[in-house]
Amino acid sequence: MTQLWPAPFHPEPFTSTVVVPGSKSITNRAYVLAALASESSTLVGALRSRDTDLMQGALEAMGVEFAVDGDTLTATPGQLTGGTVDCGLAGTVMRFIPAVAAFANGDVRVDGDEQARARPVQTVLDALRDAGVDVEGDALPFTVRGTGLAKGGRIEMDASKSSQFVSALLLAGARFDEGLHIVHTGDRVPSTPHIEMTVEMVRAAGVKVETHLTEWIVHPGPITGGTWVIEPDLSNATPFLAAAAVTGGTVSVPRWPGTTTQAGDAIRGILERMGAHVRLERYGQDNTLTVTGPEPGELQGIELDMGDIGELTPTVAALATQASTPSELTGIAHLRGHETDRLAALSAEITALGGTCEELDDGLRITPADLHGGTWHSYADHRMATAGAIIGLTTEGVQVEDIGTTSKTLPGFETMWADMLNG
C-alpha cells in the first residue's frame, strides 16, 4: 500500500533560499547529443533523478561509457550496440532513444512502466520508418532494428500531441545520411520552448539547423563533443516559488539564468500577474530570483493560454485554488497524454478537497472555494504530487499519495520542502 505524506500546513509567511538541481530537459538532451557525438563530452551540474538515470542507463545499454567525478560527468561515445532499454515513465527516454537506436548495430528493445504504454509514441516511430529505419511496434514495447546508419530526408508528421516528437528527430538529425527535413502537418505544436531549447543545443554541438514556423531542417554532419553546463530546473523551482505566493512569504532561487529557453522561466510573469512581487537580481556571477507573495486574500486569479508552458499547469492550478478570483487555463489539451491525464486528475483532486474545477476541452476553469483536508492522489505524476504540497500549505489535513514519485525529476523533494519552511 502506498504511504500518504502529510503535507506540511504552514499558512504563515516565511523566508527561505532554495537551491534547485539541474534541468531534466537540458540534462537528457545533453546525454543524447553526447552519445551521438564524435568525441567525449562533459556535463557539469547534470540532474540525478529517475528520468535522467533512465536516460543514462538506456545509453549505457547501447555501449556509451560514463564516468562521474563529483558534479561532473564524462560521456565517451563509440559504436552503438543493440540492447534492452527501460524508459520508466520518462517521455524523453521513450521518444528520444528510438532515433539514437537507429544508429546502433543491432536490435534495441524499449519498454517501460505500465502507465507509459498509454503515452503517445507512434508519431516518432512512424517518422523514423519514413527516414529508412526498421521499427517493430507502434507503442511500448517496441524494437528498433538498428543498422548503424539511416537515410533520412523529408519527413511529414503531426507533432500536436508532443513537442518531444520534433526534439527527438532534431537531436539525431545530423547523423542521418541526408540529414532531416521535418515538416509538421497538424494543429499547434505544444511546448515550443522545448523545441527552441533543442535547436539551441544542437547548434551548440556544431550542427547546422534551419527553422521555420512548422519546418526544421537539420543538415548532415558530425555532432561535436564539448562541455554542457546545466542550468537549474526552472519548472522544478515553481512549486517553491508558489509556496511564497500562497503564504505571503519570500523564496529566493540562486543561479536563475538571465536568458533561457526553459519553459519554467514563465513563472515570473505568471506570479506577477497574480499579485506577487518578483525580482531578478545579480549577485556576483549569478542571478537570484526572489518572489514575495501578496497579503492573504490578495492573490488574483488568471486567464492564461498555457500551450507553450503546459508543464507548469499543476503549479498554476494549485495557485488558482488559493486565489480570490476565478482562473481559466487553456491551450493544454495535450496534457491528457502526459504522465497521466493531468486535466482530469487536477479536476478530480481539486473537487475532492471541496474546490470548484471544471474541465474544459483544452483546459481548466477554477473558481475559488473553501478547501478541506483529504487525500490528494498523485497518479504516479511528479507534478501532481508537488501541486498537492502547495495546496497543503494553506489547507490543513492534506495527505499526498506517493510523494516519492517526485524522484522522477527532483529526488528529495520532501526534505527540500521541509527545509524551505524551516528557513
24 is in an annotated binding site: yes
347 is in an annotated binding site: no
Ranges of beta strands (E only) in 104-254 are 105-111, 134-136, 142-147, 153-157, 180-184, 209-211, 215-218, 227-229, 250-254
Q: Is residue 221 a contact partner of residue 178, using CB atoms and an 8 Å limit?
A: no
- Please tell me whether residue 138 adopts helix, strand or coil conformation: coil
> Of these residues, 136, 210, 231, 311, which one is catalytic?
311
151 is in an annotated binding site: no
156 is in an annotated binding site: no
Question: Exposed, middle or buried by CB within 10 Å (0-12, 13-18, 19+), for 332?
Answer: buried
408 is in an annotated binding site: yes
Q: What is the dihedral of CA 408, 19, 419, 281, to 10 degrees?
A: -140
272 is catalytic: no
342 is in an annotated binding site: yes
Residues 6+ apart with CB under 8 A from 25: 92, 194, 197, 233, 262
Q: Is residue 119 a contact partner of residue 83, using CB atoms and an 8 Å limit?
A: no
235 is in an annotated binding site: no
Residues 6+ apart with CB under 8 A from 308: 190, 191, 192, 193, 263, 266, 331
95 is in an annotated binding site: no
Residues 6+ apart with CB under 8 A from 70: none
Residues 6+ apart with CB under 8 A from 247: 10, 11, 12, 13, 14, 293, 393, 394
Distances 174 to 178, 202, 350 between C-alpha atoms, Å? 8, 9, 45
162 is in an annotated binding site: yes
25 is in an annotated binding site: yes
311 is in an annotated binding site: yes
- Please tell me whether residue 44 adopts helix, strand or coil conformation: strand
Binding residues for phosphoenolpyruvate: 24, 91, 119, 164, 342, 383, 408
Binding residues: 24-25, 29, 91, 119, 162-164, 191, 311, 338, 342, 383, 408
Which residues does the annotation mark as catalytic?
Answer: 311
Binding residues for 3-phosphoshikimate: 24-25, 29, 162-164, 191, 311, 338
